[in-house]
């Protein structure tokens, strides 16, 4: 019997989950829940669409509900609410607020005897796992996380709020010089500017003051002021043709020393190069949905993180097969 | 109270374990067990040395025994034997024989209520974990493992068995062309020759036929015949000065597609660059010794692999601290 997945929210992430489920023979996508008018939403694979109000009526039809909303306002409310009724997975990514979110979801899930896994994706997610393994192994060391080259949604939004800007896209780019320093096993303290640069592709409104836009972007506090930022003005056509993807990726690199006098250096590197940030995140969500299903079957309830889940729970294969083919 | 570790076998791996334990504030190295005359063995940090016969008398002094013998003859016998009395960790690395070894150790450890974790290190070990995570996430894909640049002990031994050879060292080197093809997200079928080359540094006996040695090495079945092999003749002094380290490393790269029609490509890469192969392996063994200790305290017995252990068990930090700082 398949693991029956419900998709709660149908943006890029929800669509990614829907197509990721098709790659997993042991799973089936039951339906999508939306806050929009369900009749206005057409799914990629033709699965039915219901109003979020109807979700609770479907507790017996769904094994795991994957929450595909945003971290700012959706998930802090939706995950604890839905954990009353379902095993749930979310991609809550506001790092500083994870402990509070975890506590809320844990209380609910323990009461309802459901299994929740939060902050699933790549950062937080597989990058977090890389940081934990490598720091547990190379105890005397230091790790670095670099992001990109990739599109930052938040920074692209910030550009679009600048007066005179019609549209825009921002890429975060790790500095090669910083990457190679860390790969050599050195452990410098970088400034923000030394780790990443930011590149903006901007479509200006007709007659707008380009110089003013560029200065305003480059001096924007938190978003751009601490970085070397490049601004390119391009046409809407060019933006659409060359910058409509949502690529991303990055690097987690830890270097450390071993030996009685720290005489030997080691470097552990984990990296991702993603054509589609939301589709990769969705693929991670789906693997952890399988884990939540298995954990719940074993009676393990409450709110978990990627740190708590044995890697073997993510796979569709049997333990014997995994050990024989991958160990 | 510290986790008390016993070290069973005192070669490169045993010494690596001894110095790795010094980097972990929650652990202490109790003693070394050796098959040699204990009075002939001097430890790096001055911990006592006992005969392996005495190990069983120390069940109350040791929380986890790390087995530092070889996979060919030592571990198949030692791990099941010691799992009768201790929580044990080994680095059994004969991939094809792991299922049989696992079964034997599991039967013993379940009976004795001990926790064993076998095949710990980097391959098998962290490379296996990388293969499992990445294949569970990118279901529609293919992974590749490359080794090196690094010293292969088995191949170096093979060189030294050739007539006329006094000493020698062999490096396994991944082919850049293969690495970059895979990093682009392509999924070719490589021949053995297309993935790695082998480079040998050989010290010949006086008057030996160098041409004959070179041909014999290059045509050696299993070891060299299927590879492009380079042989350099050097002096014993040069070998000692430039090739006395035991560096190693490698890459696990998986590429896969997502999207309803597989339109987006993704690449996950995990890599290691190690100055000392045995010291890195030892650091992994020590982290899993902590995990075995914790699992056993929770009553989880039997033989486990790196796939079965939640990453959080490897760390010395509290769950709260790990979640706040690494997720």
Beta-carbon count within 10 A of A326 CB: 23
Residue of A45, A268, A310 with shortest CB distance to B309 = A310
Q: Are strands A196-204 and A115-117 parallel, antiparallel or unpaired?
A: unpaired
Nearest chain A residue (CA) to B282: A137
Residues of B in contact with A142 (CB under 8 A): none
**Separation of alpha carbons A31 and A179, rounded Å:** 43
Pairing of strands B3-8, A27-34: unpaired
Average pLDDT over chain B, rounded to whole? 97
Q: What's the rounded Cα separation, in Å, for the pair A161 and A155?
A: 10
Distance between CA A104 and CA A95 in Å, rounded?
15
Q: Do residues B279 and B20 make contact, with C-beta atoms less than 8 angstroms apart?
A: yes
The backbone region for A222, taken as left when phi is positive above 0, alpha when psi lies in -120 to 50, beta otherwise, is left
Taking an 8 Å cut-off on Cβ atoms, the answer to whether B275 and A284 are in contact is no
| Stretch B86-113: mean pLDDT | 97
DSSP classification of residue B54: G
Q: Please, is B9 exposed, middle or buried when counting C-beta atoms within 10 Å of its C-beta (0-12, 13-18, 19+)?
A: buried
User: What phi and psi, each to the nearest 5 degrees, are found at residue B314?
Assistant: -80, -20
Q: Which of A126, A276, A315 is the closest to B259 by Cβ?
A: A276
- Inter-chain touch A258–B273, beta carbons under 8 Å: no
With residue A229 as reference, give the H or E element that holds it. Answer: strand A228-233
pLDDT of residue B133: 98
Which pLDDT value is given to residue A152?
92
What is the reported pLDDT for B168?
Answer: 96
How confident is the model over A312-325, as a mean pLDDT?
97
pLDDT confidence tier of residue B193, bands split at 50, 70 and 90? very high
Quote the pLDDT of residue B169: 96
Q: Is the pLDDT of residue B1 over 90?
A: no
* Percentage of residues of chain B with pLDDT beyond 70: 100
- Which residues in chain A are closer than 8 Å to B24, comparing Cβ atoms? 139
Angstrom distances, CA of residue A299 to CA of A17, A87, A315, B48:
25, 12, 19, 45
Cβ neighbours of B192 (radius 10 Å): 10
Residue of B nearest to A16 (CA): B259
Question: Using one digit for the tens of pLDDT, what is the confidence trace for A168-206?
Answer: 999 999 999 999 999 998 999 999 999 999 999 999 999
- Partner residue facing B19 (CB), from A102, A259, A320: A259
CB contact under 8 A, B260 and A44: yes
End-to-end C-alpha distance for chain A, whole angstroms = 28
- SS3 label, residue A14: helix
Q: Determine the distance in angstroms separating the CA of A9 from the nearest CA of chain B, rounded to an integer.
A: 18
Pick from A281, A282, A324, A217: which is nearest to A44 by CA?
A: A282
Confidence of residue B221 (pLDDT cuts 50, 70, 90): very high
Please give the residue of chain B at the shortest CA–CA distance from A127: B327
Do B258 and A98 count as a contact with CB atoms less than 8 A apart?
no
The full DSSP string for A91-109 is: ----GGGHHHHHHHHHHHH
Which tens digits make up the pLDDT trace of A86-143? 999 999 999 999 999 999 999 999 999 999 999 999 999 999 999 999 999 999 999 9
Q: What pLDDT score does A1 carry?
A: 81
Q: How many CB pairs under 8 A join A and B?
A: 212
Q: Do residues B249 and B274 touch, judged by C-beta distance below 8 A?
A: yes
The residue with tokens 């120390």 is: B58
Residue A57, pLDDT score: 97
> Are A308 and B310 in contact (CB < 8 Å)?
yes
pLDDT score for A141: 96
Cα B194 to Cα A258: distance, rounded to the nearest angstrom = 33
**Chain B residue nearest residue A92, CA to CA:** B327
Q: In chain B, which residues have their Cβ closer than 8 Å to the Cβ of A312?
A: 132, 307-308
Cα separation, A131 vs B97, in Å, equals 31
* ipTM for the assembly: 0.96
Whole-angstrom CA distances from A176 to A150, A193, A309, B73 are 15, 12, 34, 46
Out of A20, A137, A320, whose CB is closest to B283? A137
Angstroms from B205 CA to nearest CA on chain A: 32
C-alpha–C-alpha distance, residues A76 and A92, integer Å:
8
CA A212 to chain centre: 34
Do B59 and B86 contact (CB within 8 A), yes or no? yes
So what's the pLDDT on residue B19? 97
Reported as a single tens digit per residue, the pLDDT across A212-227 is 999 999 999 989 999 9
- Place B189 in a pLDDT band, splitting at 50, 70 and 90: very high
Judge: B311–A132 Cβ closer than 8 Å, yes or no.
Answer: yes
CA B283 – CA B16 distance, rounded (Å)? 7
Tens-place pLDDT, residues B111-154: 999 999 999 999 999 999 999 999 999 999 999 999 999 999 88
What is d(CA A216, CA B35) in angstroms, rounded to the nearest whole number?
Answer: 73
For A26-45, write each residue's pLDDT tens digit: 999 999 999 999 999 999 99
Q: Once rounded to an integer, what is the mean pLDDT over residues A270-280?
A: 97
Which of A185, A275, A320 has its CB closest to that of B264? Answer: A275
Q: Looking at the predicted structure, is the pLDDT value of residue B206 above 90?
A: yes
Which residues are within 8 A (CB) of B309 and not within 5 positions of it... i.e. 6 or more apart?
Answer: A310, B117, B288, B291, B295
């Amino acid at each position: 019997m398949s693991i029956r997945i419900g998709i709660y929210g149908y943006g890029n992430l929800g669509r990614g989950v829907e197509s990721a489920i098709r790659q997993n023979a042991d799973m089936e996508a039951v339906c999508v829940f939306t806050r929009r008018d369900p009749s206005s939403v057409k799914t990629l694979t033709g699965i039915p669409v219901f109003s979020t109000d109807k979700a609770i009526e479907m507790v017996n039809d769904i094994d795991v509900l994957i929450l595909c909303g945003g971290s700012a306002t959706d998930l802090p409310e939706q995950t604890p609410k839905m954990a009353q009724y379902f095993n749930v997975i979310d991609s809550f990514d506001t790092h500083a607020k994870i402990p509070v979110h975890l506590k809320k979801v844990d209380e609910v899930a323990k009461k309802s005897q459901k299994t929740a896994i939060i902050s699933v994706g790549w950062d937080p997610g597989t990058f977090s796992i890389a940081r934990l393994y490598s720091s547990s192994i190379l105890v005397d060391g230091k790790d670095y996380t670099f992001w990109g080259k990739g599109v930052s949604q938040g920074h692209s939004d910030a550009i679009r709020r600048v007066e005179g800007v019609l549209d825009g896209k921002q890429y975060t780019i790790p500095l090669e010089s910083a990457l190679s320093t860390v790969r050599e096993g050195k452990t410098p303290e970088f400034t923000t500017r030394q780790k990443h640069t930011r590149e903006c592709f901007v479509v200006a409104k007709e007659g707008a003051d380009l110089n003013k836009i560029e200065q305003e972007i480059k001096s924007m506090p938190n978003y751009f002021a601490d970085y070397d930022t490049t601004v390119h003005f391009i046409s809407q056509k060019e933006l659409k043709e060359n910058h409509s993807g949502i690529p991303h990726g990055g690097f987690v690199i830890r270097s450390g020393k071993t030996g009685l006098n720290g005489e030997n250096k080691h470097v552990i590197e984990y990296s991702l190069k993603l054509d589609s940030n939301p589709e990769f995140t969705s693929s991670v969500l789906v693997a952890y949905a399988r884990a939540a299903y298995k954990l719940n079957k074993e009676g393990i309830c409450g709110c978990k993180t990627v740190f708590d889940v044995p890697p073997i729970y993510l796979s569709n294969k049997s333990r014997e097969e995994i050990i024989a083919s991958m160990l």
